[in-house]
Amino acid sequence: MGFFLEEELVILFKILHSSFVKDPIEQVGAAVLRKHAKAVLKKDIGSRKLARVIAHMKKALKNEGFGVAIAAPQIGESLRMFVVSGKVFAPEGDETATPPDQVFLNPEFLRMSKKKSEMTEGCLSVRHKYGTVLRFEKASIKALNESGKSLVYHGSGLVAQIFQHEIDHLNGILYVDKSVTLMDDKDWKELREKRKKT
């Protein structure tokens, strides 16, 4: 070769890579993220077709180090379902006891707390941004699990926030539509560093 320095080759590779390889997660601007997703049909629960969608969602989530949950529209499936990473339910500091990812089909809100608070948030469909959103501190939902059993879940803090963020996805809403503040993750990191120091 001799035409490129190694660093330049890396940059060139990155440019080519980003222009040819599609992001595995649907990104803001994709029509599927703005649709009101369709209910999962009873007859599809337990089917091979639905198992494939669930497997795809779990795999996509696993590949995202910072991801805590994913909604079906984010992988291009306009269905009312989301998956929450088991690490959300893991006892703090115990990496060995991560519970399995949890699947929520046809989720519906039952009750929310009166109080809302401003929570920091990001989204796999809005890369390189972070923001704050007003969320109910507690949220109870009912949903079917993978085998079609109807269950009630009471979420508080992060879990309540996830329920609200994911159900928004199923209604075609992204957190950037309702964020109080929004910034690039580079600026966000700087702000967090500054806050840590003061």
Of the residues 123, 141, 167, 170, which one makes contact with Zn ion according to CB under 5 A: 123
Residue 147 — left, alpha, or beta (φ > 0 → left; ψ -120 to 50 → alpha)?
A: alpha
Contacts of Zn ion in 175-194 (CB under 5 A): none
Which positions are catalytic? 166
Instruction: Give the interface segment with Zn ion, choosing from 2-10, 46-54, 96-104, 115-123 (CB under 5 A).
Output: 115-123
Which residue's CB is nearer to Zn ion, number 56 or number 148? Answer: 56
Shortest reach from residue 26's CB to Zn ion, in Å:
10
> Does residue 75 belong to the site contacting Zn ion (CB under 5 A)?
no
Pairing of strands 69-71, 81-84: antiparallel
Instruction: State in angstroms the smallest separation of the CB of 55 from Zn ion.
Output: 20
Nearest approach, Cβ of residue 118 and Zn ion (Å): 17
Of the candidate spans 6-14, 47-55, 116-124, 150-158, the one that interacts with Zn ion by CB under 5 A turns out to be: 116-124
Select the residue whose beta carbon is closest to Zn ion and give its number.
Answer: 123
- Residue closer to Zn ion (CB basis): 57 or 123: 123
Nearer to Zn ion, 81 or 123 (CB): 123
Total number of residues that touch Zn ion (CB under 5 A): 1
Q: Select from 125, 139, 32, 38 the least CA-distant residue to 80.
A: 38
Q: Of 34-42, 75-83, 86-94, 123-131, which segment contacts Zn ion by CB under 5 A? A: 123-131
Interacting residues toward Zn ion by CB under 5 A = 123
